[in-house]
Amino acid sequence: MSTSPGSSAEHTPQRGRGVRWWWVVLVVLVLAAVAVGTVEHRAWVRAVAEHEAEVARVTEEAAASQARAEDAYTSSLDDLDRTTEEARSVLAASEDQVPDPDVRDTLATALDDAEELRDTEVTYQEVTRTVDEVTRPNPFHPETLPAVQVEAVDGSDPAPADLDAAATDVDEASAAVVEARRQWAYDELQAAAVEGRDALSDLDGQVGAGTLRPLDEAVTEAGAALDAGPDAVDPDEALSLRDTLLETSEALWSDRLADIRTGRLAAARDDGVDCRVDRCVALTFDDGPVADTRRLLRILERKDAPATFFLLGESVAARPGIARAVADGGHLVANHSWSHPQLTTLDDAEVRDELRRTQDAVTDATGSTPFLLRPPYGDVDGRVRTLATRTGLDVVLWSLDSDDWRTRDAQQIRRDVRDRVKDGSNVLLHDIHPTTVDAVPKIIDDLRDEDYVLVTVDLLVGTGS
C-alpha cells in the first residue's frame, strides 16, 4: 500500500507532456488541411473564371466570325465587280481595234470566268468551336463545368482569294488589250499619215495651196504625234487625228474628182458631144493591156471611135508600151486594180495597194493618171468606194454585160450588144478575148446605124455620181 511519493511525483508531469504533443500535431494537421483546402478552392475558383472567360471569348469571336467572313467576301466581290465592269468596257471599246484575236479572246474568257464566279451564290463554312469541360479534382467537392460548343463561321465559298485571283486575271488580260489597242491606233495613224502625204503630193499642182492647207496641217499634226512614239499618244487621240486626216483627204479628192468630171463634160460639149441630148454609148474594155490590144486600137482608130480601158496594173507594168498606145489613141485609161482580186475581201491596206500601184504604173506608162476605177467582178462596197475616193478614183460599174467572156463568139457578142443596147449604155467588153476584138467593128457599125454617139464612159449621164 505504501507508495513512493517520489515515484508518483515523477510520473505525472511525464504523462502531461505527451498529451500536449499530440495536440500540437493535430492542430498542425488541421491547419495544414485548412491551408490545402483554401489553396484548392482558390484554384477551382480561378479555373471556373477562366472557363467562363474562355466561353465568353469563343462566343464573342463566333458572333463576329460571320460578319468578318461576309466583309471579306463582299470586299473582294466589290473589287471583282469593279474590275469586270471596267474590263467589259475595255473589251467593247476595242472591237475591231486589236489585230490579234487571241488578245481579246483571252480577256473575254477571263471575264466569263470572273462573272461566273461573281454570280455564284455564296455559302459560308460553319465550324464548331469547343471549350473543353473542366473537372474539380476534389474528392470532397466533386464538380464539373461541362464542355461548351459554339457555332462559328470560317470563310466562304467562293473564297475571297478566288475572287481576288479572278480579278487579277481580268486585270492582266485587260491591260494586254489596252496595250494592243494603243499600238493598233498608233499604226492606224501612221498609215493615215502616209496616205495623207500621198494625197498631198498627188493633189499638189492640181488644186491651190490654200485648198490643201487643212490636209497639210493634219499631216503635220499627225507627224508630231507619231514622233512622240506609241506610248506617248493616247489611242483615242490617235484615232481622232487619223479620222481628221482621212476625212480631209476624202473631201479634197471628192471636190477634185467633181472638178475633173465637170471639166471633161465641158470639154466634150465644146467638141459637140453632150449626152444629155445625144444618144450616147460607151464601149469599155477590161483586163488589158494584152498584145491583141494593139489590134483593137487599130480598129478603133480606123473607126474613129473613143473607148475606155480599165487596165490591170500588173499588165501595164508588163506592157507599158501598149498602155501608152491606148492613151495616145485618145482613149480613157482607167484603173481595174493591180491583180484582179475581189476588193471587198481585202483589208484597207491591201485595197489601197491594189489601187495605188496601178495608179502609179498607168501614170508612169502613159503620163495620164486614172480617175475611174472599175472594181474586178463589180465587187464593191462602201468601204472600197471610200478607199477609192481617197486614192483619187470614182467607181464605175457597167450597165450592159456583153457576156463576151462566156460566149467567146464574135457573132454572138455583136448580137448581144445590138439587141440590148440603149441610150446611155455602158458596155462591158474584154480585149483579152480575140473574139471580142473580132466583134468590135460590127458593134461600132451597128451603133452608128442607130445614131448612137460613142463616148468615153465618164461622159455618160450619171456616171461617177
Q: Any idea which residues carry the catalytic annotation?
A: 286, 430
Counting other chains too, the contacts that 374-377 makes at CB distance below 8 Å and 24 or more residues apart are 374/284, 374/286, 374/310, 374/334, 374/335, 374/336, 374/398, 375/337, 375/343, 376/336, 376/337, 376/340, 376/341, 376/342, 376/343, 377/342
The three three-digit cell numbers of residue 299, written as one number: 480598129
Nearer to Zn ion, 186 or 338 (CB): 338
Q: How far is the CB of 116 from Zn ion (least distance, A)?
A: 52
Q: How far is the CB of 442 from Zn ion (least distance, A)?
A: 23
* Range 250-309, binding Zn ion (CB under 5 A): 286-287
C-alpha cell, 253: 479628192
Choose between 315 and 366: whose C-beta lies nearer to Zn ion.
Answer: 315
Task: Candidates 144-152, 200-208, 374-382, 444-452: pick the segment binding Zn ion (CB under 5 A).
Answer: 374-382
Interacting stretch for Zn ion, rule CB under 5 A, among 34-42, 223-231, 370-378, 379-387? Answer: 370-378
Burial class of 186 by CB neighbour count within 10 A (0 to 12, 13 to 18, 19+):
buried
**At 150, phi and psi to the nearest 5?**
-125, 130
CB 375 → Zn ion: shortest distance, Å? 9
Judged by beta carbon, residue 252 or residue 283, the one nearer Zn ion is: 283
Q: Which is nearer to Zn ion, 313 or 376 (CB)?
A: 376
Closest CA to 160 of 85, 81, 69, 82: 69
The verdict on whether omega for the bond into residue 158 sits within 30 degrees of 0, i.e. cis, is yes
Q: How far is the CB of 340 from Zn ion (least distance, A)?
A: 6
Look at the alpha carbons of 219, 220, 225, 229 in this order and tell me if their dihedral is positive or negative. Answer: positive
Compute the distance between CA of residue 8 and CA of residue 337 in angstroms, rounded to an integer: 157
Q: Which stretch binds Zn ion (CB under 5 A): 41-49, 103-111, 177-185, 375-383?
A: 375-383
Stretch that binds Zn ion, among 11-19, 60-68, 98-106, 373-381 (CB under 5 A): 373-381
Output the residue with the shortest Cβ distance to Zn ion: 286
Give me the least distance between CB of 289 and Zn ion, in Å please: 13
Q: Which is nearer to Zn ion, 256 or 374 (CB)?
A: 374
Q: How many residues bind Zn ion (CB under 5 A)?
A: 3
Map the footprint of Zn ion across residues 120-159, applying CB under 5 A: none
- For Zn ion, the binding residues (CB under 5 A) are 286-287, 376
